[in-house]
């Protein structure tokens, strides 16, 4: 993704919480800088164990030095499940 992303731009990347070290290492080796973290709240738990997994995580990654927004978005967002389109293709 780093190669095809325009200079001074941003990318959102979801990741697996139990492999975050591997994701962060790969992003940094590629040249990305972590500039933020997003949490998407879900109305349901996608998995249960010690915890109910009711959110998704993503990092906001920068290539170069993107322009700062005039009004930053909130880092916690609602998640609306629209179905699994992969199963319908």
Task: State residue 58's pLDDT score.
Answer: 95
In a domain, 81, yes or no: no
Q: Flag whether 27 is in a domain.
A: yes
The reported pTM is: 0.81
Tens of pLDDT, residues 46-60 = 888 898 888 889 999
Total domains, the chain: 1
Could you tell me what percent of the chain has a pLDDT over 70?
92
Q: Give the pLDDT score at 31.
A: 97
SS3 track for 8-56: CEEEEEECCHHHHHHHHHHHHHHCCEEEEEEEEECCCCCCECCCECCEE
Q: Is the pLDDT of residue 82 over 90?
A: no
* pLDDT recorded at residue 84: 65
Question: Is 74 part of a structural domain of the chain?
Answer: no
Residue 89 lies in a domain: no
């Amino acid at each position: 993704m780093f190669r095809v992303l325009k200079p001074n731009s941003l990318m959102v990347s979801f990741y697996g919480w139990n492999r975050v070290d591997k994701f962060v290492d790969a992003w940094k080796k590629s040249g990305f800088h972590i500039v933020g973290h997003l949490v998407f709240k879900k109305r349901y738990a996608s998995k249960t164990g010690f915890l109910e997994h009711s959110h998704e995580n993503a990092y906001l990654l920068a290539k170069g030095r993107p322009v700062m927004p005039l009004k930053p978005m909130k880092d916690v967002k609602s998640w609306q499940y629209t179905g699994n389109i992969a199963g319908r293709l």
